[in-house]
Amino acid sequence: MKITLYVFLIAICLSSRAVFGQSLVFEDAVDCRLYPELPPDEAAIAYRNLAARQDQNQNYTEAIISLSCAIQLKPDYALAYYERGSIFQVVGDYSQAIADASQAIELKFSPIDWVYDVRGWTYFNLGEYEYAIADYNLAIQFIEDTMQLPKYYFSRGAVYQRLNNHIEAIQNFTLAIKIDSNDSGAYNSRGVSYYEQGEYQFALADYNRAIELDPTNANIYYNRGGVYDELGDYESAISDYNRAIQLGQTENLTNYYTVRGTSYTHMGNYEQALADHNYAIELAPQNPAAYYNRGKTYEQQDEYRLALHDYNTSIELDPDGYIGAYITRGDIYKKIGDDQKAEADYIHATLLDPDMADAYKQLGRLYDSQFKYPRALENYHTYLDLAGEDTDPEIARRVLELERGQVSLTGL
């Protein structure tokens, strides 16, 4: 996706207009009399140096106060705006971070690419992805500190990845790797985009290289385990998940046990799968994915009542975000003969995400089984349009049968 410089400039103007001036309120409330013997410009530098020490010690509030004094004493102090904006980003005060970065740009801070980086990543954290891309384009276009170029390509790739534009993401991660071939993060992130594209061998190669460079990173083993699972190599997947569990931080263990449980389900080892899912739920009882995946294991065992309970819990915990639970719950309702509830779940999934191909596929199958062929065709066609290269050949065949009038009473 390419955006013209004209759009970049609009993005900058809009962001500045939206937040500029907010940080000025902060300076007015600060007592800045620590260096009364120094002239204002020298006192500003002293406050800035004090802030640097406070920042290094992670005393962020004190650092912000010191930088605010520096700005109060020297209103055109671009470095102080840049550094305060960077700290505001770290502490999650994104509106102030953007205000300070925008002011640093207006004051022509150098190297200018550093400021676009701060503001771009702040926009990323806010979910303002187009503005983030605009800033990273500008950071790359006007780069002064060329050592930062791989970082900017990586960051822009991360933004495209968040937008599910994996082609652009892969291109940017590749540019970062060409400059720094020892960046494990770039290989790992490119592997994620290859995985999302269904390019599992490329993903596997990138994860292998990332592990060579960073063999104690649990998240890379977790990611590679997902590729092995997709390839049907469940033993290798479980081996990687075991390693992730050994290396992982406590906050990530729920995900690692959940995916290992899923691989055990795929192997047919339901006892071990349920043990993993139960432990994942024990670790994080508010995690909808843990219940959803345990529900899948119960469904594989035809334990529909238990599966429904877990899908219900998953939906209760995240009614608008865990869309897959509506589809799988609809599948259970269809299996037990409650077509009305199945239809409601499939339709609700399409309302939450109009691009959810599987919801239309299952809705089409439901109508097909009810001999409502026009409605089945309508949903099958929507599914085919959304699925693209990942189309289920059985659905494509069924559509041809219905369109030619070769209607089977059993449907799909």
Among the listed ranges 2-11, 127-136, 377-386, which one has the minimum average pLDDT value? 2-11
Q: Is the pLDDT of residue 247 over 90?
A: yes
Would you call 320 helix, strand, or coil by DSSP?
coil
Q: Is the pLDDT of residue 27 over 60?
A: no
Among the listed ranges 193-197, 249-253, 293-297, which one has the minimum average pLDDT value? 249-253
* Domain presence at residue 93: yes
* Domain presence at residue 9: yes
DSSP 382-409: HHHHHHGGG--HHHHHHHHHHHHT---T
* Domain presence at residue 1: yes
Q: Is the pLDDT of residue 5 over 70?
A: no
Higher-confidence residue: 258 or 20?
258
Higher-confidence residue: 215 or 388?
215
Q: Tally the domains of the chain.
A: 1
* Domain presence at residue 85: yes
What CATH number should be reported for the domain holding residue 112? 1.25.40.10
- Number of other CB atoms surrounding residue 203 within 10 Å: 25
Q: What's the chain's average pLDDT? A: 91
What is the per-residue pLDDT for 29? 60
Alpha-carbon gap, residue 37 to 24, rounded angstroms? 25
Tokens of 154: 């990586």
Q: What is the mean pLDDT of residues 27-52?
A: 89
What is the per-residue pLDDT for 146? 93
Higher-confidence residue: 24 or 378?
378
- Which range of residues forms the domain containing residue 26? 1-144
What is the per-residue pLDDT for 250? 85
Q: What is the mean pLDDT of residues 90-97?
A: 97
Q: What is the mean pLDDT of residues 1-20?
A: 30
* Domain presence at residue 74: yes
What is the per-residue pLDDT for 28? 54
Alpha-carbon gap, residue 219 to 247, rounded angstroms? 9
Q: What is the mean pLDDT of residues 20-42?
A: 71
Cβ neighbours for 361, distance < 8 A, ≥ 6 positions apart: 379, 380, 383, 387, 392, 395
Alpha-carbon gap, residue 331 to 346, rounded angstroms? 9
pLDDT-above-90 percentage for the chain: 87
* Domain presence at residue 283: no
* Domain presence at residue 244: no
pLDDT-above-70 percentage for the chain: 91
* Domain presence at residue 28: yes
